[in-house]
Amino acid sequence: EPGTHTCWAFHGASAEAVESVVLDPAGFQPCMAGSRGASPWGPGTYFARDARYVAEGGFCGLAADGSKQMLMCLVAIGVPCLGDPKHNGVLPFRQKPHRYNSSVDSLADPEIYVLQHAGASLPAYLVSFR
């Protein structure tokens, strides 16, 4: 259930990647993320607050029937920091020895969440649309 350190977010990927995430017990693999070559807020698995961002940004994969697909996921963002490509998968300390849990595009009103840990997201729903 979403709460202070969790939220619902959307993830778009190719049909093959969506199938892999759904069928693999490990779920998302942040080390495999970023196959599109763009990581403006650092490495990790990217999620969007709004489905529209994923749908209109060209991040949805096509299913065999021609419909578009995205995943609606419960993500554990914990205490986020502002994303930076220089993080290289290791987030800064918030207070030693504790590091931030995720990164975002904006601390005031995040639209993008970047997770570096495989267990920090749960794919809950496959959303298909035309």
pLDDT tens profile 65-103: 999 999 999 999 999 999 998 888 789 999 999 999 999
Which helix (H) or strand (E) segment holds residue 21: the answer is helix 15-23
Q: Give pLDDT tens digits for 107-126.
A: 999 999 999 888 899 999 99
CA nearest neighbour of 8 among 50, 46, 45:
50
> Which has the closest alpha carbon to 106: 127, 76, 80?
80
Question: b/e per residue, 37-73, with b = 16+ CB within 10 A?
Answer: eebebbbbbbbbbebebbbeeebbbeeeeeebbbbbb
Q: Please indicate, yes or no, whether the overall pTM of this predicted structure exceeds 0.75.
A: yes
